[in-house]
């Protein structure tokens, strides 16, 4: 066992720091509940989860977020061993890419806040990190641009370059450039030049918007 936490915020810090493969997570905690803990760590490290709780009313929601099992307190040893065996059999890391990302966790000055995809203008790659541009603020998250693109396409993001994806709602103009490329002008004045390899989606966007 890597460690334990006395509350939700402590659990968030422990998961992001220690990156465990499997977490036994209580649902009702003093500050942040178990579901909010998962949302907070999802963009950086989402472990396999077995929920532990004194109430059975959250069972359906627990499996909606791909929990491996749901244990009711007091936990019987045989039931615990069965849940652990199930986690091992299914593969602890098989759930990492199944959960959609609907919010990003932002950790600044010791605080944890959340950012919705709709609040982001564009995202650029920075090695194994990504830089989120949201209005006048920028935030760095420990995730690749490819993974964010995988989940943010459903939120209206489009890749314009190998190192940038853009929220379509933030695009003000598309200025034709060389070889079928575009200069993408955002509402805040930011200009990004699309690459030839990633201009097809922008052409489809233009065609779709044409009368």
- Closest Cα partner for 135 from 170, 83, 184? 170
Q: What is the pLDDT of residue 68?
A: 84
Q: What is the pLDDT of residue 92?
A: 47
What string of pLDDT tens digits covers the 211 residues of the chain?
667 888 899 999 998 888 888 899 999 888 889 999 988 887 677 788 899 888 878 877 777 777 888 899 999 999 999 988 887 776 544 444 445 567 777 777 666 677 889 999 999 999 888 999 999 999 988 788 988 898 898 899 999 999 999 999 999 999 988 888 999 999 999 999 999 888 888 888 776 665 5
Q: What is the pLDDT of residue 163?
A: 95
Dist. CA 72–CA 40, nearest whole Å: 24
Q: What is the pLDDT of residue 99?
A: 52
Dist. CA 98–CA 74, nearest whole Å: 30
The alpha carbon of residue 130 and the mean position of all alpha carbons in its chain are separated, in whole angstroms, by 12
Dist. CA 110–CA 91, nearest whole Å: 33
Q: What is the pLDDT of residue 172?
A: 94
Show Cβ contacts of residue 126 under 8 Å, excluding neighbours closer than 6 positions.
Answer: 140
Q: What is the pLDDT of residue 96?
A: 45
Contact, 182 vs 193, CB < 8 A?
Answer: yes
């Amino acid at each position: 066992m890597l460690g334990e936490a006395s509350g939700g915020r402590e659990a968030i810090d422990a998961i992001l720091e220690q990156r465990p493969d499997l977490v036994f997570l209580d649902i009702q905690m003093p500050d942040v509940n178990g579901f909010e803990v998962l949302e907070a760590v999802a963009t950086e490290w989402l472990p396999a989860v077995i929920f532990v709780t004194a109430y059975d009313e959250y069972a359906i929601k627990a499996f909606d977020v791909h929990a491996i099992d749901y244990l009711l307190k007091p936990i019987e040893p045989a039931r615990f061993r069965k849940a652990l065996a199930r986690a091992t059999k299914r593969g602890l890391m098989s759930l990492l890419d199944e959960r959609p990302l609907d919010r990003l966790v932002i950790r600044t000055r010791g605080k944890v806040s959340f950012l919705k995809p709709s609040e982001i203008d564009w995202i650029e790659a920075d090695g194994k990190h990504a830089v989120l541009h949201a209005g006048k603020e920028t935030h760095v998250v420990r995730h690749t641009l490819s993974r964010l693109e995988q989940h943010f396409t459903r939120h209206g993001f489009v890749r314009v370059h190998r190192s940038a994806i853009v929220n379509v709602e933030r695009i003000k103009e598309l200025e034709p450039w060389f070889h079928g490329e575009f200069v993408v002008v955002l509402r805040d004045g930011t200009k990004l030049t699309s690459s030839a390899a990633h201009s097809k989606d922008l052409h489809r966007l233009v065609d779709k918007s044409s009368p």
